[in-house]
Structure 1
C-alpha cells in the first residue's frame, strides 16, 4: 500500500505511460554518458586570487583543451591569450576596448575570431554532457544562439552561411562582448562538473570571505570541514576561545581586510585596549607576517603586534578555563600560565625551566592567571557580539553546515580533512566525551551531530548539551584526538614565548600519518567506511606535502592522496609548489601541481596522470547513476501500475 501511495505521488509528475517511458529513455541515455569531472581542493587558507584562478582555469585543463583543439594552428602566445580571455573575459575585453590603436573594423574582426575559437573549445568541453544539461548552464539571453552554434553541421553550405550570420548579427548589434563573456563562463562551468573542498578555507591568506563567495557561487560543491573552518564556525557559535584564536591568527597574518572589510568585525575596541595596555611594549614576538597588503583596513605593524599580543594572552586564559572545565579533554599539559615564574621570567614544562622570550604580562593575576581582567572581559563581550551578529559570517557558516560534514563517501572515494585517530599500533583510538567513547567512523558520525548542535540546538531545549557542543568546537580545533587536528598537542604558547626552543615547538603527527601510508592500513580505513578497497581511495589534506624534499602526495599504493601542497603563501617555501588539485574524470585520476600565482602570466600547473581507470567510467557507475537507476525502476513500476489499472492514466 505504501508503494502504491508513492507511485500515485510519482504519477503527478508523469501522468501516463508515454511520459514515464520518455523519462526512462532520457535517464538511460544519461547513464550511458561519461561521468563528469570532479575536482578536489584542500587547504585554500584564504588565498582568493590563486583559488579563483584555479577554478577559472580548471587547474590547467582549459589550457590543455586549447592545445588539443588548435595544436599547431595557434602559437604559444596566442594560446595563452585565448586562455586568459576564458579565465578573465571582462578584464581582457576592457583592455582591448581601451586600446586606442584598434579600429572598429579590427575590433569586429577580433571579436569574430574570439567567438569562433570559443565555440570550438565549448564543443570539446560540452561533448560529455546531454544537450539539455549544457543548455541549462547557458545564460538565458544567449542560450538559443549558443545552442545553434554548438550543434550546426558546418559541412552544409547553407548551415555555414546561417552560422556566419548569427555571429555577424551578434557583432552588428554590439552584443559581442557580452556574448564572449557568456561563452567563457560556460566553458568554465562545463569543465568542472563537481567540486570537493577537503577543508581549511580560512586563516593565513588575505580573503577567506571572498573564497567562500566563490565556493557558494559554484553549481555543485561539498565541503569536508578542516580544523581552521571549525575554529571560525565555533567563533560564529559564540565560543570565545575560538574567537580569540581567530583574531590571533588574523592579526598575526595581517588579515585586517578579511576581518573588518569582509566580515565587519569591529576591531577598534581591541586596538584601543592593546594600545593602552601595551603602549610602551614593542611586542617583538608578535609582529605580523606581511605576506599580503591590506587594501581597505591597513594597520600599522607596531599596533598589529600589540593587538596580537593582547588577544593571545586572552586566548591562553580562555583555553585554560575550558581545559579546567572539561577534564575529559585531558589537556592539563597545555595549562602553562600557572607554570610561569613571573619574577624571573621562566616557565616550567615537565621537569625543566625555560627562559621566556617575553616577560611583560600586565593583565595576568599571578594568583589566578586564567582569570580575565575587567578590561579583557568587556573586550571579549564586545568582540563576541561582533562575531555572532556578523551577517556575512553567519551566511557563510550556514553554507558550511548545509554543504559540509566531517567526511563524505562519493564515487568510491572517502573524503576527510585530517585523519582517523590511531594509536602506535595502528588501531583506531577512542575520543572521550560526555556521551561516551567513540572511534573510527562512529566518532566521525558522532562529531557531525555535536557540530550541528553547537549552531542549531536551541539552548532553551537543552542548555547544557548546547554549551557542551559549543565548547567542543574549540577541542576539535586543537585537541590531540580530534580527527581534524591530528597532532599530539598545539604549541601556541611555545611559538609565542619559547620560539627559540625548536623541540618544544614541534607538534608530532598522529600515528595515522605513518600507518595510512601503508596499503593494508588504508584498506582498513576504507572498509571501516563501507567501501571496497579494490576500487576506493582516501583523499585528505591538512599536512603540507614537501615536494621539494621528494615527498609524494600519493601513498599506500595509490589508495591515499594527501593533497595539501601549500596553496597558502605561508607554505610555499616548505613545499616548493603552490598546492595540488586532484582531478578525477572518466578516464583517470590526475594531480595538478600549481605554480605560485602571478596574474596574466603562464600559471598552468604541471598535470600528471596517477591512475588510469580499467574502463571508461560512465554515469551509471557513479552514485548519481545508482540514484538514476532507482528512478528508472520506480518509473517501470509506475508503468506497470498504469498497465494493470491500479493507477488511472491522465492525458
Structure 2
C-alpha cells in the first residue's frame, strides 16, 4: 500500500477506529443513498423584505399548505386547515391565541398534537432518524421520537402512544410540544435553501434576514450586486461605503445602517448642514412609500446628506476609474465634463443642462479631489464600517456561505449574467494582456472578492481586491450587474430620459435561446440535456406577459418582486423555485400584508404553483451531489475496512486506561 494512502487511512481510522465502526458507517451511508432527495428552495432578490421572506420560509413556499390539504381534506374544513397552517408558521403566537379563545383547551391541544404528528410523519420519510433527532431540543427529543416513530395502531402500542399524549397535556406541556413539532415541520419542509443574491437594500430588514439565514441548517448564497457593495463596504472600500449610504438615503432606509450595524451618520449630517445649508436638495429627496414616517425637516436633512454622499461617491469613483484603466470605464468620468459656469455637461458630444448646479465642494480645476472635510468624513465612516461587530459577523457569514456562482446537482446558480458579445460569444476581460471570460472570469472575481476582505494591511494587494468589489457592483462586465453602465449621475442631474438608460448586456437577448444556454452550461461542465440555469437580478414583469422560464425550460429567472418597490412592475411578490424528488416547481407569490394579520386572520401568502419539470423516476440521494460525496466516503471506508483486515491498520478499541479521545 502506498505511503500517502496509508497515512490518509490512519487519519480516517481516528474517526472509525474498528472494523465494526467502519462497517456500520458503510451500512448507514449505503442506506442513506436510497432516501428520496430532499426539497431545495431557491429564492432571489429579497431586498430586505424580512416579513415576506420569513413567511415564505416558514410556510415552505406553500408546500406545507399543500401537505395539509392532502392529509386533512376529508377531516378538516378549509378554515380549520388555514388555522392549522398558521399555527405551524407562527406556533408561539398562534397557540397562545388559541388557548385563550378555545372553549375546551385540552381537547384542542389533543387534536392539534395528533395532527402535527401526522404531518411530521409524512415529512420525516425523506430523512434519517438521526437527522430528525438533531433538529429537536434535547429535553424533548426522546418523547417526540416515540411519538413520531411508534405505530400506535398496533394493539400493543396503542395505549402507550395515547399515554404520551395525555401526559403531555396533564403536565401542562402541550403548548411547548406544539411549538417544537411546528418548528420541526418548518425545518423539514426545506432541506436546503439557496439564496441567489440581493439580500440587501430597498427594504429595512436585510440584517434580520441574515440573522435567520445564519440559523438555517443548510444554506448557500450566490452574491448579488447589492450584497457585494455591502461586503465591499465592510471590507473598507470607501467608494462602496459611499454607495451603500447613498442607496440607504435614497430609499429613506437607515434602519439597517444605524440600528442594526451601529453606523453613526451624525458626522455626515453635520457635514451636509455645513456644506449644503443653502441647497434645497429637491433632486435628492428620498424615495419612500411611507413619507408620513418622517417630518419635513427630516426629509430635507436626508436630502442634504444624500447629495453630500453622492458627490463624494462620484469623486471616489473617478479616482478609482483613473487608478484602474483596464476597467475601461473612462466614459463614466463625468465631473470633468461639467461646465460649472454655464451649468451644463457634455456627454457624447451633446450638451445637456443640469437640473442642479450647486456643487459647493467641487473644485472645477480638480473635480475628483476630496476636500479636507470630505476626507475626514469618509475616513470616519470607513472606521464605523470596519469596526461594526455585527456587520463584520454578517459579512464573514456571506463569505463562508457565498460565492459568485454555484454548481449544484447539475444546475448552475448565479445572480445576474455571463457577460457576452453581440455574437453570443463570451466577452473577455483583459488584464495585463491576459484574457478571462466565462467561467474563468467568474473564478477570478470570486477570488478577488475574498482578497478584498481577508487580505491584511493597506497594501496594493488589498486595494486591488477592494476596487474589484466596486467593479462587481457597477462594472460593465460584472456578472452581478449585467449592464453597460450605472447611470446614477444622469438620473440625479439630467432631465433627458435617454441619458438614464442602462443598456443590458447581450446576455439578456441570448438567455431566451436554447443554444446560448447550452453553451453556458457546457462552459461550467454541466449537461445541456439535464442542467438548468437559475438566476435573478432582473424582475420578471408578469403583468406585461413576461415569463420566468426561458430557453425551452433550461433557464429560470426567479426575481418576481419580493421588494415592494418592484411589485408595481412585476404584478406579483416574488418567486420560489422548488426542487424535490419528483421535479421542479415554480411558486409565484402574491403580496404579503403582515405577520400580525396572518396570525389573527389566518391569512397566508397565496401562491400559484407551476410544474416546470417532472422526473420520470423519483430522484434519490444517490442522484445528487451529496450522493456522490457519500459514495466517495463509502469507497474510502471500504479501503479502510480492507486495510484493517489485511493488517495494514490496527484497530483502536477503547479499553482499560484508554478513552476514545486518546485515539
TM-score (norm 1): 0.96
- Alignment-derived partner of residue 496 in structure 1: 492
Classify the secondary structure of the residue corresponding to 2:118.
helix
Residue 277 of structure 1, CA deviation? 2.4
1:517 to 467, 491, 512: 512
Gaps of 5+ in 2: 654-663
Q: What CA deviation, in whole Å up to 9, does each residue of 1:216-272 have, x standing for no partner?
A: 111001111111111011111111111010000001111111111011000111112
- Alignment-derived partner of residue 621 in structure 1: 623
Mapped partners of 1:297, 1:154: distance in 2: 63
Pairs aligned (count): 644
Mapped partners of 1:249, 1:299: distance in 2: 20
- Alignment-derived partner of residue 640 in structure 1: 642
2:76 to 59, 74, 77: 74
1:154-169 equivalent positions in 2, closer than 5 A: 154-169=152-167
- Alignment-derived partner of residue 656 in structure 2: none
Mapped partners of 1:5, 1:602: distance in 2: 56
- Alignment-derived partner of residue 531 in structure 2: 536
Specify whether residues 165 and 207 from structure 1 end up closer, same or farther in structure 2 by C-alpha distance, changes over 3 A only: same
Mapped partners of 1:249, 1:561: distance in 2: 28
Mapped partners of 1:213, 1:609: distance in 2: 32
Task: Please say which of residues 481-490 and 354-363 is displaced more in the overlay.
Answer: 354-363
Partners of 1:261 and 1:297 within 8 A in 2 = no
- Alignment-derived partner of residue 336 in structure 1: 334
1:121 to 119, 140, 144: 119
1:473 to 469, 475, 485: 469
Residue 3 of structure 1, CA deviation? 1.6
Q: What CA deviation, in whole Å up to 9, does each residue of 1:159-196 have, x standing for no partner?
A: 22222221221122222222111111110111100111
Mapped partners of 1:16, 1:260: distance in 2: 56
Partners of 1:260 and 1:297 within 8 A in 2 = no
Mapped partners of 2:326, 2:592: distance in 1: 44
Mapped partners of 2:219, 2:291: distance in 1: 30
Q: Cα RMSD over matched residues? A: 1.8
Partners of 2:200 and 2:227 within 8 A in 1 = yes
Partners of 1:59 and 1:592 within 8 A in 2 = yes
Residue 549 of structure 1, CA deviation? 1.0
Classify the secondary structure of the residue corresponding to 1:591.
strand
Residue 345 of structure 1, CA deviation? 1.9
Given the alignment of the two structures, is residue 506 of structure 1 paired with residue 504 of structure 2, yes or no? Answer: no
- Alignment-derived partner of residue 380 in structure 1: 378
Q: What CA deviation, in whole Å up to 9, does each residue of 1:344-363 have, x standing for no partner?
A: 32211111111222122111
Partners of 1:257 and 1:294 within 8 A in 2 = no
Classify the secondary structure of the residue corresponding to 2:552.
helix
Partners of 2:102 and 2:108 within 8 A in 1 = no
Partners of 2:560 and 2:574 within 8 A in 1 = yes
Partners of 2:445 and 2:468 within 8 A in 1 = no
Mapped partners of 2:319, 2:102: distance in 1: 68
Partners of 1:487 and 1:510 within 8 A in 2 = yes
- Alignment-derived partner of residue 445 in structure 2: 447
TM-score (norm 2): 0.94
Mapped partners of 2:532, 2:642: distance in 1: 40
1:118-157 equivalent positions in 2, closer than 5 A: 118-157=116-155
Classify the secondary structure of the residue corresponding to 2:421.
coil
Specify whether residues 490 and 181 from structure 1 end up closer, same or farther in structure 2 by C-alpha distance, changes over 3 A only: same
Partners of 2:202 and 2:563 within 8 A in 1 = yes
1:175 to 173, 176, 180: 173
Gaps of 5+ in 1: none
1:507-586 equivalent positions in 2, closer than 5 A: 507-586=502-581
- Alignment-derived partner of residue 402 in structure 1: 400
Residue 649 of structure 1, CA deviation? 3.3
Mapped partners of 1:145, 1:293: distance in 2: 52
Partners of 1:539 and 1:562 within 8 A in 2 = yes
Classify the secondary structure of the residue corresponding to 1:248.
helix
- Alignment-derived partner of residue 348 in structure 1: 346
Mapped partners of 2:617, 2:354: distance in 1: 61
